[in-house]
Amino acid sequence: MQKRLLPEIGLVFLFIITSLLALPISSTIISQTGSTTSSNPSSGAGYLVYFIISLLLLSAAIVFLARKKKVNFLRYLFAIAIAFAIFYVCSILYYDAIVFIENFVNIPVTELEYEFLVFLTPVVFLYALLFRQNWVIIDIAGVLSSAGLAAIWSTDIGLYYAIILMIIFAVYDYIAVYKTKHMLEIASASAKSGAPLFFVMPDSIHFDPSTIDLDSPPGERGSILLGFGDIAIPNIMVVSSYVYFGKFFPFFVMPLLGGVVAMVALFLFVKKPAPGLPFLNAGVLLGLLSAILISAI
């Protein structure tokens, strides 16, 4: 008898883990660079424009490849991109781990050992995503890459433009699903090619992600899918709020809680394929607003 999982709770857990992982990554980025646009929240306009243009070009490229029946290329493209993201994240996380080990455990770690681990980890993930893919590998890779994306973007664009980014992406996601419907094409192409673009939380631990069929009813797929961006993008706001205000409570906790509540609402009240960012981005923005009100009391 197969063990049953609770997919909705699993995805909420991944959202929280991504937030908590992005926090030390952003702190290390700031300590290494010595500055952040979150301390000057009006200086991220250029990054904001760059991110939006990149998103539009990437979406157009995926739709083009899907319509040209080149979906298998997507698996290699995104597996390599995620491996690069994991390389960057591991270079920071392993650095923090080594500092901790040397300072508190008093075990020396050589630079060669550090570099070996930093290079080995993304190579292992790249191999697994291409040739040994399963839902656990996909979700771990998604958490690492989403945490890295959230940390980098939050320190690049600052608080004010993070708010604007949340609004723009929520509107874009709504239009892409319900109006132009090209996001559905992207999802279908991803599923057919096995491209790692979605968190997969199955009903059973033995679920095979290669069996995902987006044309089947949601209740018959054996899993819940959530795009990497649906977790990474709201967490930009969560981390930006903490970086700008410098307080774990309420400026990290409340936006995170807002995102969690919004995700639960999405799972409870929406039973068909729907854009996640209008819910999640609204949740973290309301969480930020509540944090400001709490701080003002």
- Bridge partners, residue 224, by sequence: 201
Count, residues in the chain? 297
Alpha helix (H) residue ranges in the chain = 7-33, 45-67, 71-100, 111-131, 135-178, 182-193, 228-245, 253-269, 277-296
Which one-letter DSSP state was computed for residue 225? Answer: E
Angular region, 158: left φ>0, alpha ψ -120 to 50, beta rest: left
**What are the residue ranges spanned by the domains of the chain?**
7-34+41-296
Q: Rounded to the nearest 5°, which phi and psi values hold at 276? A: -85, -30
pLDDT(248) > 80:
yes
Confidence (pLDDT) at 2 = 46
Vertex 118: Cα angle to 117 and 124 (nearest 5)? 75
pTM equals 0.92
| Interval 190-220: pLDDT, tens | 887 888 999 999 988 888 887 777 766 666 6
Distance CA 59, CA 229 (A): 12
User: 5: helix, coil or strand?
Assistant: coil
Distance CA 157, CA 164 (A): 10
Mean pLDDT of 268-275: 81
Confidence (pLDDT) at 70 = 74
Residues 6+ positions from 235 with CB-CB distance below 8 Å: 15, 18, 19, 22, 146, 147, 150, 154, 259, 284
pLDDT(185) > 80:
yes
Question: What is the distance of C-alpha 6 from the center of its chain?
Answer: 20
Confidence (pLDDT) at 43 = 57
Confidence of residue 187 (pLDDT cuts 50, 70, 90): confident
Burial classification of residue 49, based on how many CB atoms lie within 10 Å of its CB (0-12 exposed, 13-18 middle, 19 or more buried)? exposed
Confidence (pLDDT) at 1 = 40
| Interval 15-71: pLDDT, tens | 999 999 999 999 999 888 765 554 555 557 788 888 889 888 888 888 888 787 777
Confidence (pLDDT) at 256 = 98
39-48, 53-62, 119-128, 134-143: least confident range:
39-48
Distance CA 294, CA 273 (A): 35
1-5, 130-134, 159-163, 202-206: least confident range:
1-5
22-31, 132-141, 143-152, 269-278: least confident range:
269-278
pLDDT(145) > 50:
yes
Residue 3 corresponds to which tokens in the numbers above?
A: 């063990």
pLDDT(119) > 90:
yes
| Interval 3-26: pLDDT, tens | 455 889 999 999 999 999 999 999
Share of the chain above pLDDT 90, in %: 56
Mean pLDDT of 100-112: 83
pLDDT(118) > 70:
yes
Confidence (pLDDT) at 217 = 65
